[in-house]
Amino acid sequence: MIDNKLIELVGITKRYNGSTVIDDLNLYIRENEFLTLLGPSGCGKTTTLRIIGGFESPDEGKVLFGGKDITKLPPNERQLNTVFQKYALFTHMTIAENIAFGLKIKKKSKQYIKDKIKYALKLVNLDGYENRMPDSLSGGQQQRIAIARAIVNEPKVLLLDEPLGALDLKLRQDMQYELIRLKNELGITFVYVTHDQEEALTMSDTIMVMNQGYIQQIGSPEDIYNEPENAFVADFIGESNILSATMVKDRLVNILGVNFTCVDEGFGQNTPVDVVIRPEDIDLVDPEDGVLTGHVTSLIFKGVHYEMEVMAGGFEWLVHSTDMAPVGSKVGIRVDPFDIQIMHKPESEDEAVSAKGPEAW
């Protein structure tokens, strides 16, 4: 279903000093969707967000909002608000004055502003903070105020540029759930930028993985994690064992000289491919029961599971398991056919970088 498209980026290209940061990017964002732009530093995700927000202008292409071309509209004339990593609260103003700032510019009535401040503070669980000063708040509380200031303007879209990056781990996790709750209660579209894979997997309806200005893959968190389309996505989203292999025929792949049964079809016969196997999908069994045999070279206790490295077939396998095998022990490796992900092997480095997800997303 694509009839609820709210934002469309059509053929967006952006260059800085002759260097292309985004190259012919096409994307649509649905109404009420939580879309996360995910990728390493310099991949173009923040530039994409700034183009949506009107803080940057594309060199080519256009931005549509509800079917209307807004490419040349300034940020204050777009139906959206932005929350940055640096919350940019006015330190000389109370919390109420910070939240009311945009509403006063719009010349809203005093009663309207008062009601909106109360509503926004309740929404971010900071009732009674109207007369506090920003420097008396924790980082998480300041972040909530920045969000409250954005949502009182009733934007159709909330843009968030790594807003949790300055918070400690526990507070960041708490705020992830707060943002999900806010999105569900407000019914607005969230476009979120992060380089944190766990953050993206936790909060998103849809994830767009970027690398060097190109879309690598777009899909649900489950699709991105379980069905990566290329080695970059597999390596960037979670931990992975990525190996070169040969697709012998449908449902049979040769990895490290040993045939493994898989479920993939349509790759041809004796075709070079890349294979992804997640560490948690590897079963360590008795040596005689394994498809490959090897020995444990490293063991770390991670709390929820043990992280082990197993040298087998000349490859150092990363294994996550709730069962521990001591260093030096001989083990067998077995993988369920459904847990072997086959990917096309790019023919060149350029092809690997410019790999794109579904067209016209």
pTM value? Answer: 0.88
Region 138-158: mean pLDDT is: 89
pLDDT-based confidence at residue 166 (cuts at 50, 70, 90)? confident
Q: Which two tokens stand for residue 49?
A: 């967000």
pLDDT of residue 354: 62
pLDDT-based confidence at residue 322 (cuts at 50, 70, 90)? very high
Handedness of CA 38, 353, 356, 221 (dihedral sign): negative
Tell me if 234 sits within 8 A of 256, measured CB to CB: no
Q: How far apart are CA 149 and CA 152, in angstroms?
A: 6
Q: Domains of the chain (ranges plus CATH)?
A: 5-226 (3.40.50.300), 239-345 (2.40.50.140)
pLDDT of residue 360: 38
Tell me if 129 sits within 8 A of 122, measured CB to CB: no
Q: In what order do the strands lie in the sheet with 68-69?
A: 19-30, 5-16, 60-65, 68-69
CA dihedral 106, 175, 228, 39 (to 10 degrees): 60
Chain center to CA of 185:
22
Q: What is the pLDDT of residues 170-197, one digit of tens each?
A: 888 888 988 898 888 889 999 999 999 9
Which residues, other chains included, contact 66 with Cβ-Cβ below 8 Å and sequence gap of 6+? Answer: 6
Angle in degrees, CA 31, 108, 178, rounded to 5: 40
Percent of the chain at pLDDT exceeding 90: 77
Mean pLDDT lowest among 47-51, 182-186, 206-210, 213-217: 182-186
Compute φ and ψ for 310, nearest 5 degrees: -125, 120
Region 135-154: mean pLDDT is: 89
Paired sense of beta strands 206-211 and 34-38, if any: parallel
CA dihedral 5, 85, 215, 218 (to 10 degrees): -50
For residue 22, the tally of other CB atoms under 10 A from its CB is: 27
Q: What per-residue string of b and e applies to 97-123 under the rule 16 or more CB within 10 Å gives b? A: ebbbbbbeeeebeeeebeebbeebbeb
Handedness of CA 201, 205, 209, 210 (dihedral sign): negative
Amino acid letter, 188: I
Task: For the chain, state the CA radius of gyration.
Answer: 24
Residue 361 has pLDDT above 50, yes or no: no
Residue 351 has pLDDT above 70, yes or no: no
Region 109-123: mean pLDDT is: 93
pLDDT of residue 167: 78
Beta bridge partners of 189: 157
pLDDT-based confidence at residue 72 (cuts at 50, 70, 90)? very high
Amino acid letter, 293: T
